[in-house]
Amino acid sequence: GAGVSQSPSNKVTEKGKDVELRCDPISGHTALYWYRQRLGQGLEFLIYFQGNSAPDKSGLPSDRFSAERTGESVSTLTIQRTQQEDSAVYLCASSPGTGNEKLFFGSGTQLSVL
Amino acid sequence: SQKIEQNSEALNIQEGKTATLTCNYTNYSPAYLQWYRQDPGRGPVFLLLIRENEKEKRKERLKVTFDTTLKQSLFHITASQPADSATYLCALDPSGSARQLTFGSGTQLTVLP
C-alpha cells in the first residue's frame, strides 16, 4: 500500500484478555518499529525489526508483550492478560532500513482496557 | 540518565509570527536529530533531519538548528499559519541507524488567526 496500515484503529477490551495488533509496513521497507504513546506523552520505543536480524526487544515493558514479524512484511504485537495501564495508542512505523533515515508512521491503534 | 526535554507543553502564537520550539537533551551524543509533526489521532509525520556536523537545515518555512555544545535543537516556523497548529516532536538517534529513535514528549503549537 501507499503507507503504513494498522488495524484495528480502535480496540476496547476487558482487563485480563489478550489482544493482537497488526501492522502492514510500506512495501520494501526492511525496518519496522513499534512505539507506545500514552495520553499527552511522547513515544515510548517497544521493539525494532530489521530484515532477518534478531529483533531489538529492549523496550518491551514486560513479558506480557511480544511481537512477531513475517519476513519483511506484516507484524503483530500481542499483549497478554491486558492491564489498565496498557491503555495507550500503539504506533507502528517502517523505514527503508538503510540507516540515517526517517520513519513512516501508521495512524496507530487506540487500545482501551476496561 | 538520558533525557529529552521540549521547552513547553503548549505554545500559542499569532498568525504570521515565527514560532520557535526548543529541544534539549542530556547524556546523549546523537549522530542526528529529527523533527516530526503529529496531528490529533494520527501518527507522527517526518519534517526535517539534521546531522551532528550540520549547524542549520531549511525546508520552505521551516528551519532547524543543532548545537551539540549546548545540546539543543531549535525548530522555527516562519510566517506561521493556523494550519501549522499541531504537536511537534523532536527525536534523537545516538547511533545513526534509527534503531532506537527516542522521542521527546512534544510541544503543542497553536497558531491563532
CB contact under 8 A, B97 and A100: yes
Write out the H or E segment, with its range, that includes residue B73: strand B72-77
CB–CB contact A33 B96 (8 Å) = no
pLDDT at residue A99 tops 70: no
CB of B2 less than 8 A from some CB of A = no
Question: Residues B19, B31, B69, CA angle at the centre, nearest 5°?
Answer: 65
Establish if B53 touches chain A: CB-CB under 8 angstroms. no
Interface of A with B (CB under 8 A): 4, 31, 33, 35, 40-43, 45, 48, 50, 56, 58-59, 91, 93, 95, 99-108
Cross-strand pairs, B72: B24, B67
| Mean pLDDT of all residues belonging to chain B | 90
Q: Which of A41, A48, A108 minimises the CB distance to B105?
A: A41
At A30-60, the pLDDT tens digits run 999 999 999 878 899 999 999 888 899 989 9
For chain B, the residue count is 113
Q: Average pLDDT for residues B37-55, to the nearest whole number?
A: 93
Mean pLDDT score, A58-78: 93
- Quick one: which of B78, B80, B82, B44 has its CA closest to B62? B78
Query: How confident is the model at residue B30, as a pLDDT?
Result: 82
Sheet holding A19-24, edge to edge: A5-7, A19-24, A75-79, A65-69
Question: Which amino acid, one-letter code, is at A57?
Answer: K
